[in-house]
């Protein structure tokens, strides 16, 4: 099984800036980060969805009381491209 974990926040940021998509599991929920037009979307299932203008806003979004950039460093990355 491939290792999809990020080695640094810089690597994570570059991946998303280049249009990378990320799926991850955290605290019993599955999340996805996707691009749509000029927006970045973070979703959790079909119920919760947040839209961001840029990668910094995404990575500084609070998720369960923590910044998303910190969550992504310890969450199980289940899939990513780029």
pLDDT in tens, 40-58: 999 997 778 999 999 999 9
Q: For 40, which DSSP code? A: E
Q: How far apart are CA 24 and CA 54, in angstroms?
A: 19
User: What's the token pair of residue 50?
Assistant: 């947040």
Specify the pLDDT at position 45. 78
Percent with pLDDT over 90 in the chain: 78
- φ, ψ of residue 8 in degrees (nearest 5): -155, 165
Taking CA 61 as the corner, what is the angle to CA 4 and CA 42, rounded to the nearest 5 degrees? 55
pTM, two decimals, is 0.88
């Amino acid at each position: 099984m491939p290792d999809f974990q990020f080695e640094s926040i810089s690597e994570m940021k570059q991946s998303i800036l280049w249009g990378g998509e990320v799926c991850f599991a955290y605290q019993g929920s599955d999340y996805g980060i996707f691009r749509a037009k000029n927006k970045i979307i973070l979703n959790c299932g079909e119920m919760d969805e947040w839209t961001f203008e840029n990668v910094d806003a995404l990575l500084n979004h609070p998720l369960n009381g923590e910044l998303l950039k910190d969550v992504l460093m310890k969450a199980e990355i289940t899939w990513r491209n780029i």
